[in-house]
Amino acid sequence: MDLITSWIGNIPEFAVPFALAALGLIITEKSGVLALGAEGLMLVGAVAGIGAYLTFEQNAIALIMAMMAASVVSLLFALMVLVMRINQVISGLVLVFFCQGLSTLVGTLMGWTNQPVPGLHAIALWPLSELPYVGRFFVQNIVVYLTPVIFLVTVWALYRSTPGLRLRAVGENPQASDAAGIPVLGYRLAAIVVGAALIGLAGAFISVLSTKLWIANMTGGRGWIAVALVIFARWSPWKALAGAVLFGCIEALIPQLAASGIKLSQYFVFMAPYAITLGVMIWVAASKRDTSSQPADLGTPFIREERT
Amino acid sequence: MSKPNAIQLTGVSKTFDGFKALADADFTAKWGEVHALLGENGAGKSSLMNIVAGLYGPEGGSLFIDDNPVKLRGPKEAAKLGIGMVHQHFKLVAPFTVAENILLNLGHIQTSGLYRERLRRVSEDIRTMVDRIGFNIDPDTPIHRLSIAEQQRVEILKVLLAGAKVLILDEPTAVLTEEEAESLLTTVQGFAREGAAVILVTHKMNDVLRYADQVTIMRGGRTVTSLRPDSVSVDELVRLTVGESTTHTDQPSAERTPGEPYLRVSDLTSTAGRRALNGLDLTLNRGEIYGIAGVGGNGQSELANALMGIPEPVQGDMEIIGGGDLAELDAAQRRALGIASIPADRYGSALAGPLSIADNFALGDIHSGRYGPFWYLKTRAIEADATKAVHQFDVQGVRSLKQKAALLSGGNAQKLVIAREFSRPPRLVFAHSPSRGLDVKATEAVRERLRAARNDGAAVLLISEDLDEVMAMADRIGVMSAGRIVAEFSRPADRQAIGQAMVNHV
Give residue-wise pLDDT tens across range B328-358: 887 778 887 888 888 887 777 788 878 888 8
- Does the CA dihedral A54-A59-A62-A63 come out positive or negative? positive
Q: Which of A113-127, B208-222, B383-397 has the lowest mean pLDDT?
A: B383-397
Tell me which chain A residues have a C-beta less than 8 angstroms from the C-beta of B83.
Answer: none
pLDDT at A117 over 70: yes
DSSP assignment of B16-80: ETTEEEEEEEEEEEETT-EEEEE--TTSSHHHHHHHHTTSS--SEEEEEETTEEE---SHHHHHH
A55 dihedral zone (left: phi>0; alpha: psi -120 to 50; beta): alpha
Contacts of B279 (CB under 8 A, 6+ apart): B267, B268, B269, B316, B483, B484
- Whether pTM > 0.95 for this model: the answer is no
| pLDDT exceeds cutoff 70 at B17 | no
Q: Does B95 touch chain A (CB under 8 A)?
A: yes
Question: Is B91 an 8 Å CB contact of chain A?
Answer: yes
CA–CA dist B122, B100 (Å, integer): 8
Å between A27 CA and nearest CA of chain B: 17
Q: What local confidence, expressed as pLDDT, does residue A232 receive?
A: 84
DSSP string, B183-228: HHHHHHHHHHHTT-EEEEEE--HHHHHHH-SEEEEEETTEEEEEE-
pLDDT exceeds 90 at position A91: yes
What pLDDT is attached to residue B249? Answer: 45
Q: Is the ipTM, as predicted for this complex, more than 0.90?
A: no
pLDDT at residue B250, as a whole number: 47
| Nearest beta carbon to residue B105 from set A161, A180, A308 | A180
- Mean per-residue pLDDT of chain B: 83
Kindly indicate whether the domain formed by B5-242 is annotated with CATH number 3.40.50.300.
yes
Of A27-31, A224-228, B427-431, the range with the highest mean pLDDT is A27-31
The segment(s) of chain B belonging to CATH 3.40.50.300 are: 5-242, 259-338+426-506
Beta bridge pairs of residue B489: B477
Q: A165, B92: Cβ pair inside 8 Å?
A: no
Higher pLDDT, B64 or B469: B64
| Interchain CB distance below 8 Å, B92 and A308 | no
What pLDDT shows up at residue B214? 93
Calculate how close chain A gets to B230, using CA atoms only, in Å.
Answer: 34
* Listed range (A134-138, B404-408, B458-462) with the worst mean pLDDT: B404-408
pLDDT over threshold 50, residue B368:
yes
Residue B398 backbone dihedrals phi, psi, to 5 degrees: -95, 105
Which residue numbers of A have CB closer than 8 Å to B's CBs?
160-162, 164-166, 168-169, 172-173, 175-177, 179-182, 292, 296, 307-308
* Residue B122 near chain A (CB below 8 Å): no
Q: How far is B96 from chain A (nearest CA, A)?
A: 8
Q: Give the DSSP letter of residue A67.
A: H
Q: Do A161 and B92 touch (CB under 8 A)?
A: no
Give CA–CA dist B492/B7, Å, rounded.
Answer: 44
Question: At the top level of CATH, which class does the domain B259-338+426-506 belong to?
Answer: alpha beta
Q: What does the pLDDT read at residue B253?
A: 52
Q: pLDDT tier at B246 (50, 70, 90 boundaries)? A: very low
Cα Dmax for chain B: 78
Phi, psi of B461 (to 5 degrees): -110, 120
Residues of A in contact with B92 (CB under 8 A): 173, 176
pLDDT in tens, B80-138: 899 999 988 888 998 999 999 999 888 656 566 788 888 898 999 999 998 888 888 89
Which of B:12-41 have CB within 8 Å of A? 16
Residue B109: the pLDDT is 60
Mark yes or no for CB contact B93/A169 under 8 Å. yes
Task: Kindly list the domain boundaries of chain A, sorted by start residue.
Answer: 2-287
Alpha carbon distance B91, B159 (integer Å): 12
Average pLDDT of the residues of chain A:
90
Of B87, B94, B107, the CB nearest to A172: B94
A58 versus A275: the higher-pLDDT residue is: A58
Which numeric CATH code is attached to A2-287? Answer: 1.10.3470
What's residue B110's pLDDT?
57
For residue A292, the model assigns a pLDDT of 58
Residue A170: closest C-alpha in chain B: B93
High-pLDDT (> 90) share of chain A, %: 63
Looking at the complex, does the CB of residue B103 fall below 8 Å from at least one CB of chain A?
A: yes
Q: Is the pLDDT of residue B144 over 90?
A: no
Residues B211, B185: Cα–Cα separation, whole Å: 7
- Min mean pLDDT across A80-94, A188-202, B15-29 is at B15-29
* Residue in chain A nearest B77 by alpha carbon: A181
Give me the pLDDT at residue A288, please.
Answer: 63
Residue B78 near chain A (CB below 8 Å): no
Cα separation of B26 and B22, whole Å? 10
Taking contacts as CB-CB distances below 8 angstroms, the residues of chain A near B108 are 181
User: Which among B75, B95, B96 is the nearest to A179, CB-wise?
Assistant: B75
- Residues of chain B with pLDDT > 90: what percent? 19
| pLDDT score, position B247 | 44
CA angle B496, B497, B498 (to 5 degrees): 90
Distance of CA A118 to the CA centre of its chain: 23
d(CA A171, CA A178): 11
> What does the pLDDT average to over A71-85?
95
Please give the pLDDT value at position B440: 65
Q: For B272-309, how does the pLDDT look when each residue is reduced to its tens digit (9 = 90+)?
A: 766 788 888 888 888 889 999 887 778 888 888 888 88
Q: Looking at CA atoms only, how far is residue A90 from chain B in angstroms?
A: 21
pLDDT confidence of residue B504: 66
B76–A contact, CB cutoff 8 A: yes
Please give the pLDDT value at position B29: 93
| Average pLDDT of the segment spanning B312-318 | 82
Measured between beta carbons, the chain B residues lying within 8 angstroms of A169 are 93, 96, 104
Instruction: Provide the pLDDT for residue B506.
Output: 46
- Give Dmax over CA atoms of chain A in angstroms: 69
